[in-house]
Structure 1
Amino acid sequence: MAENLKECRVPCKATTDELESLCRSEGVTCKELGVSKTNLTEYEVEYLCNYKRVVPVGKLKDGTTPPPQELYMVKWRGFPESRNTWEPRKNLKCVALLSQFYEDLMLELQRQRRRSVPRRLDPATASYMVQRAKLRKRLQRWECELTALNLQRGGGRISVQNHVDLVGPPRSFTYINDYKVGDGISLTEVALGCECTDCHGKPVNGCCAGASQHRFAYNEQGQVRLRPGMPIYECNKRCRCGPDCLNRVVQRGIRHSLCIFRTDNGRGWGVRAMERIRKNSFVMEYVGEIITTEEAERRGHIYDKEGATYLFDLDYVDDEYTVDAAHYGNISHFVNHSCDPNLQVYNVFIDNLDERLPRIAFFATRSIKAGEELTFDYKMQIDPMDAESTKMDSNFSVTGLPGSPKKRMRMECKCGVESCRKYLF
């Protein structure tokens, strides 16, 4: 019986920080938690909790009153909050943490419409500072997780910022890099690949795009050169060309450094570019759980009550499947709507050529500056007069738009552009 329990694992109710604090308070070393004999009694500032200015008792030798002394309440890394201590400014070498403390404090005082730093913080403000510090820790852990997942595909850094409220990482959301296939749905992998050794310079039979009677999608810089509505056929795992092939763009994943940030106008989280993105460059995929339209209809009514929508119809030829990014998705889960977007959707086919199940890729419609928010139009329209795009439905967009059999609650648009339609749907 004991042998069968060797690989048994159960979740721990305590966090790693709590376990580390317990080890240090009890004087126990733990290799997994990084607590050793050499650092068991080391003191490192984890975050600053409070602030006050006090005037020392007595006078200096010259008879003058000593200047006020700045004291900070310190939470020590690896020790419980009961071990917090007040420390003078001269004892603290954590310049970054001090700077962050004052940034948070000034934002809170500004919210309170107070112009100067008080001699001591009131209990409510001190409590807020502790909550901000704890929130930052949670966001930093989340940021590390997202970046690690993105780096697995050679992508850029994903940072997280919240200077608006105390909302932390979504609790019921799992970050994924590829589709999660729902029950009763199967993806059929492509059986053949191209025979090209130089897909861009010397394509054989038009390479993968030509075999499907379509044009090569990218130029030498990897920018899309097809009109919206035209499908993109990339080389697949059975092609002779290598990973550096110019016809492999979307499958390489997110390449730019992006930031998930908390918006200040009630739109929840958003995504901004942390570097310049050239026009027509690939930015990200819309990834989530593939479900049937019937299941999407059921979930859609639930999401309506929550005032959010993450359902995206895969209606390139038939309206049979939907991508739901509510609980499983990538950074596109946090991209907001705009009536004047800087991202455009393209249907992409790589290892699966089933036209009912395209991959949804976002490309930049214009040059995007560093710091600019990324947006797409939830009600995208393809020119119905474009003969080459007739296979894409005119209501290719998130599920439940007018003209589709599914009806949705009207949601107010907060994009703020001059051409705003006032409603998402």
Structure 2
Amino acid sequence: MAEDLKVCSVPCKVSWMELETLCRSERLHCEELGVNRANINNFEVDFLCDYKKTKEDEFYLVKWRGFLESECTWEPRRNLKCPKLIKQFHIDLDQELRRYKKRCTPKKLDKQMSSFLLQKAKVRLRLQQWEAHLNYTRNHPGRIFVVNDVDLEGPPRNFTYINNYKVGSGIVLDEMAVGCECKDCFKEPISGCCPGASLHRMAYNDKGQVRIRPGQPVYECNAQCRCGPDCPNRVVQKGIQLDLCIFRTENDRGWGVRTLHHIRKNTFVMEYVGEIITSDEAERRGHVYDRQGSTYLFDLDYVEDVYTVDAAHLGNISHFVNHSCNPNLQVFNVFINNIDERLPRIALFSTRAIRAGEELTFDYKMQIDPMDTESTKMDSSFSFAGLPSSPKKRVRVECRCGSDSCRKYLF
């Protein structure tokens, strides 16, 4: 029996921060937690909880990293070596003072204000930890940042960041692409390279910008091809190249995504990633999501409506991209290692030049050129609170995108 127990293990229900706190309080060393003889007496500030001032000095109530909240101490400003945390604390304080139309910083904060600042600090710390987790999980060059300067909303619950499609039960994703023999796929494509083998044209120019109309398929070179990783016909498979920021919107649209770089027109930005499920399962989940208030179902109906991508609980940064009636992103169907036309990869490309700091959006009810019979669209069950469970009897939902061409309603 004892031998069997040696291979048993269960997940730890205590966070790393709580474990570090226990180690420091019990004066224990732990290499994995970074608590050792050299730094066990080091005191690092987690966040600032409260503020008061006297004639002699300003004081901050400090939450120390690795120590319980009940062990916070008041410290004079001159003793603190955390200028960024002090600056952020006063930004939050000034915003709260303006909200109550107060011009001067009081000598002592009331309980309501200090409680708000404490909650704000805790949320910011949780978002920083989530940001670190997202960047640890991602497999693409582009970094992810998280900002909430609007409310006390923390990281989303029941959401797992993934980099590629997760195949649902009963679905087989066969890699059946045929590789090309090109030495230079752009200048000297043999038999039209991979797009030509599928009777389609090359989708990108030499700068990696898409040059075909929305609705037409993109066939990239794949693992079977002789060309190298720098081939100009490999764009989407290289992943997100841009630094992007998940931010809290100010007009009740929840989270959004903005770019931290200038983006040229027709540039790949991100994929729409989630769990691949059957349309029957999507119908079942759609009813559940309607009752919960929102859904992230995306039909893969390039040739037939068989599969759907569900990004509600498994997804990447596209999960947080908002709708606009005048979007700056457009969807394209992309095929790489798998050429099953029922299972395209959904890539979002810029429709125009996008400024650094601008929010990224796409149209949840996008319209493809009516002359194109090939298209991809967002499932009509992509909805918000108040919609009935039946997808055929939906109420009109007000759109808050704010564009000049706003249709006023999402559905």
TM over 0.5: yes
- For 1:123-162, what per-residue CA distance to the aligned partner results, in whole angstroms no more than 9, with x for missing partners? 1211111111111111111111212233x33x21100000
Shift of 1:25: 1.5
Segment drifting more, 360-369 vs 405-414: 405-414
Match of 1:391 among 374, 383, 403: 374
Where does residue 81 of structure 1 map in the other structure? 69
Where does residue 349 of structure 2 map in the other structure? 363
Structure 2 CA distance for aligned equivalents of residues 399 and 356 of structure 1: 18
Q: Percent identity?
A: 65
Where does residue 292 of structure 1 map in the other structure? 278
Find the residue that maps to 1:303 and give its secondary structure: helix
RMSD: 1.5
The answer (yes or no) to whether the contact 1:304–1:409 under 8 Å persists in 2 is no
Give 2:45's aligned amino acid. V
Where in structure 1 are there 5+ consecutive unaligned residues?
Answer: 55-66
**1:185-204 correspondence runs (5 A):** 185-204=171-190
Q: Does 1:233 align with 2:219?
A: yes
Match of 1:111 among 99, 106, 112: 99
Segment drifting more, 301-310 vs 321-330: 301-310
Where does residue 37 of structure 2 map in the other structure? 37
**1:302-381 correspondence runs (5 A):** 302-381=288-367
Structure 2 CA distance for aligned equivalents of residues 88 and 191 of structure 1: 66
The answer (yes or no) to whether the contact 1:50–1:126 under 8 Å persists in 2 is yes
Structure 1 CA distance for aligned equivalents of residues 194 and 305 of structure 2: 25
Match of 2:129 among 141, 146, 152: 141
Where in structure 2 are there 5+ consecutive unaligned residues?
Answer: 383-389
Match of 2:110 among 122, 137, 140: 122
Find the residue that maps to 2:405 and give its secondary structure: coil
Where does residue 266 of structure 2 map in the other structure? 280
Shift of 1:350: 0.7
TM-score, length of structure 1 as denominator length: 0.92
Q: Does 1:12 align with 2:5?
A: no
The answer (yes or no) to whether the contact 1:158–1:258 under 8 Å persists in 2 is yes
1:368–1:185 CA distance, 2 compared to 1 (3 A):
same
Give 2:53's aligned amino acid. R
Shift of 1:191: 4.5
Shift of 1:284: 0.3
Q: Does 1:98 align with 2:86?
A: yes
The answer (yes or no) to whether the contact 2:297–2:308 under 8 Å persists in 1 is yes
Shift of 1:319: 1.0
Structure 2 CA distance for aligned equivalents of residues 310 and 116 of structure 1: 46
Shift of 1:5: 2.6
Structure 1 CA distance for aligned equivalents of residues 100 and 170 of structure 2: 54
Give 1:122's aligned amino acid. D
Shift of 1:301: 1.9
Where does residue 387 of structure 2 map in the other structure? none
Give 1:147's aligned amino acid. N
Shift of 1:296: 1.1
